[in-house]
Amino acid sequence: MNIYNYKFKTIDGEDATLGEFKDKVLLIVNTASKCGFTPQFTDLQKLYEKYNSKGFEILGFPSNQFAEQEPANNDEVKSFCEINFGVTFPLSEKVEVRGNDAHPLFKYLTDKVAFKGFDMNNPSAKHLHDFLQEKFPDYLLGDSIKWNFTKFLVDRQGNVVERFESPIEPMGIEENIKKLL
């Protein structure tokens, strides 16, 4: 199985496949509208506008799994992202991204690129780690998604090449994207 075999429903309820994005550099992100990392939508959109014409795509997968930070329905999520952040990159319907009911794509992504820990020199990363340690210690185990806005970078051949944890700002991975374009 490769990444292009995975299917999903768009936020508008239409069937889609990652095969539609073959030969493109992809950034796959699990998102939420009520998270401390939600402002990352701004820079995600900037990256999308800057590099989309060069073969770069972002796919956002809203999830309500982390402290119920995506309680809205799909229509509300879409409106929120468009109105508040001008999001024009594709979004999926709400999905699970960790655990037994995780969308198969996220099981695949976390199997391909392991969790390497948080950069404890980054104050946001340290804060998230400490929060998870206190409130959701089991989230820190294994390679599963730890929180909203975990980002996976996929090359034009469909290889999952890098994983960036929630506190890593989108503009902080611009050079990684440019190398694959």
Give the burial string for 23-52 (b: 16+ CB within 10 Å, else e): ebbbbbbbbbbebbbbebbebbbebbeebe
Structure tokens belonging to residue 106: 């996220």
pLDDT single digits (tens) 65-83? 999 999 999 999 999 999 9
Please say if 81 is a catalytic residue: no
- Which of 31, 137, 33 is closest to 92 using CA atoms? 31
Q: Give the number of other CB atoms < 10 A from CB of residue 109.
A: 23
Catalytic residue among 16, 35, 113, 140: 35
The C-alpha angle with vertex 61 and arms to 110 and 45, in degrees rounded to 5, equals 110
* Global pTM exceeds 0.95: yes
**Residue showing tokens 């990684």:** 176
Question: CA dist 41 to 125, 155, 165, Å?
Answer: 18, 21, 15
Contact 21, 59 (CB under 8 A): yes
Tell me the pLDDT of the chain (181 aa) as tens digits. Answer: 799 999 999 999 999 999 999 999 999 999 999 999 999 999 999 999 999 999 999 999 999 999 999 999 999 999 999 999 999 999 999 999 999 999 999 999 999 999 999 999 999 999 999 999 999 999 999 999 999 999 999 999 999 999 999 999 999 999 999 999 9
The class that CATH gives domain 3-180 is: alpha beta
